[in-house]
Amino acid sequence: MGMVKLVVMMMVVIAVLNPAQAQPEAKFNCTTTNATCRAVIDYTNPNGTTLSYIQTLFNVKQLIDILGANNLPSNTTGNYSVGPNKAIKVPFPCKCNNGTGLSDQVPVYTIKTGDTLYDIATTVFAGLVKYPKIQEVNNISDGNTIHVGDKLWIPLPCSCDEVGGVSVVHYGHLVELGNSIEGIAEEYGTTQQILLTLNGITDPKTLQAGQLLHVPLKACSSNVRNDSLDYPLLVANASYIYTAHNCIKCMCDSTNNFKLECEESSELKPTNWSICPTTQCSSNVYIGNITATDSCNQTTCDYAGYTSNNISTVLATHNTCAAAPNGSGPSSGATRSTLQGWFWSNLFIVIHLIFFSIYLVW
């Protein structure tokens, strides 16, 4: 009996000495050779921050790219304040190389006085990368010798692979206290099994707050041609993007069978064209117009991509009655595996320790 108590006590001591348990490294396989795509990752700041700060930190080209990824109104300004520990989705370009996906040479961070690789990884980039990875990709032989003013590539994990034969937007989700695999799967329209497989997790109870979880986001289908400069145009559920030099705004949501909805943008100036080229399917039929509807079939003028000098359109018929693709059926009888389980099991040990102390005092 005493031996058992001693073992329990040693476990408690270890838990106390090592409160911030090492987060498991995020698994992001990316096996599509040399593929590039858009990915998103959560960023949180314990002090609160602004969208401008996030845009600068991650070298996001336009504020609207962050607004779209988070479905924030397109007139939101950069000084919009982000509360402490509130997650903001940051979009970035991803590239597959040798089986793993990494952000494509961005973000670039300039070393400041007093920085260590550890601080840059854990504090500045919120633990989204591990410091040895920064050291490795920047070819730094001695991690203790870094120079103020030097530029570091921060390799964010990502992927461009299909999941279950379907194109998705890959998302690095920061697990919050109380999250369960089941709840996350439900929230993002995927299944527990896909999340477990993708993340190499065998026991859902091992999920930890602050862990980066690889989540595939459902994307809307589009009619963008494969020779378009924005092909494949992947827009995740509950988000929007501006494309074709900001001339076109495309939105994805669960209404309309996850079909991408595009329209001429009115708010933004084109970036590479002086004015936006016309976007007609035929005279007086513009992108976004519905030309015919019967009980189930709807014909619309769709965005079909852009090249250096024009925007393509296509008249396409969509079946609005088809059953929505279902990948998120509730899994009855699934064990509920929240983080609370972890705390309760530790509470159990603490109670044991208290009894043990009383026993010692006696």
Ligand X SMILES: *[C@@H]1O[C@H](CO)[C@@H](O)[C@H](O)[C@H]1NC(C)=O
**What are the tokens at 83?**
């509360």
Among 21, 297, 310, 346, binds ligand X (CB under 6 A): 297
Q: Which residues contact 226 (CB under 8 A, 6 or more apart)?
A: 232
User: What are the angstrom distances between the C-alpha of 117 and each of 130, 140, 145, 244?
Assistant: 9, 10, 9, 38
89 binds ligand X (CB under 6 A): no
Alpha-carbon Rg for the chain in angstroms: 24
Among 23, 32, 50, 197, binds ligand X (CB under 6 A): 197
Between 273 and 356, whose beta carbon lies closer to ligand X? Answer: 273
Among 53, 153, 273, 286, binds ligand X (CB under 6 A): 286
Single out the segment in contact with ligand X by CB under 6 A; choices: 109-117, 148-156, 288-296, 335-343: 288-296
Single out the segment in contact with ligand X by CB under 6 A; choices: 69-77, 142-150, 173-181, 333-341: 69-77
CB atoms under 10 Å from CB of 148, counted, come to 10
Q: Which residue in this structure is represented by tokens 């400041």? A: 112
Between 137 and 349, whose beta carbon lies closer to ligand X? Answer: 137
Q: How far apart are CA 10 and CA 316, in angstroms?
A: 67
Single out the segment in contact with ligand X by CB under 6 A; choices: 29-37, 152-160, 167-175, 204-212: 29-37
Contact 174, 23 (CB under 8 A): no
Closest CA to 218 of 253, 192, 176: 253
Single out the segment in contact with ligand X by CB under 6 A; choices: 110-118, 170-178, 281-289, 351-359: 281-289
Between 263 and 352, whose beta carbon lies closer to ligand X? Answer: 263
Among 221, 289, 299, 320, binds ligand X (CB under 6 A): 289
Between 75 and 202, whose beta carbon lies closer to ligand X? Answer: 75
36 binds ligand X (CB under 6 A): no
Among 23, 29, 32, 50, binds ligand X (CB under 6 A): 29
264 binds ligand X (CB under 6 A): yes
Bridge pairing between strands 280-282 and 29-30: unpaired
Indicate the helix (H) or strand (E) that contains 281: strand 280-282
Sign of the four-CA dihedral 89, 90, 96, 98: negative
Between 47 and 332, whose beta carbon lies closer to ligand X? Answer: 47
Q: How far apart are CA 162 and CA 196, in angstroms?
A: 16
95 binds ligand X (CB under 6 A): no
Q: How far apart are CA 253 and CA 240, in angstroms?
A: 9
Bridge pairing between strands 280-282 and 285-286: antiparallel
45 binds ligand X (CB under 6 A): yes
Binding track over 209-228 against ligand X, x by CB under 6 A: ---------x-------x--
Number of residues forming the site for ligand X (CB under 6 A): 35
Between 139 and 145, whose beta carbon lies closer to ligand X? Answer: 139
**Per-position b or e across 254-282, b if 16+ CB within 10 A of its CB:** eebebbbbbebbeeeebeebeebeebebe
CB atoms under 10 Å from CB of 23, counted, come to 15
Q: Which residue in this structure is represented by tokens 């599509």? A: 32
Single out the segment in contact with ligand X by CB under 6 A; choices: 18-26, 83-91, 202-210, 293-301: 293-301
Instruction: Find the shortest distance in angstroms from Cβ 178 to ligand X.
Output: 18
Q: How far apart are CA 354 and CA 347, in angstroms?
A: 10
**What are the tokens at 172?**
């690095």
Single out the segment in contact with ligand X by CB under 6 A; choices: 14-22, 27-35, 86-94, 177-185: 27-35
99 binds ligand X (CB under 6 A): yes
Dmax (CA) for the chain in angstroms is 93
240 binds ligand X (CB under 6 A): no
Among 288, 303, 305, 306, binds ligand X (CB under 6 A): 288
Contact 270, 325 (CB under 8 A): no
| Contacting residues toward ligand X, per CB under 6 A | 29, 33-34, 45-47, 73, 75, 77, 79, 98-99, 123, 139, 141, 188-189, 197-198, 218, 226, 237-238, 254, 263-264, 272, 286, 288-289, 294, 296-297, 319, 328
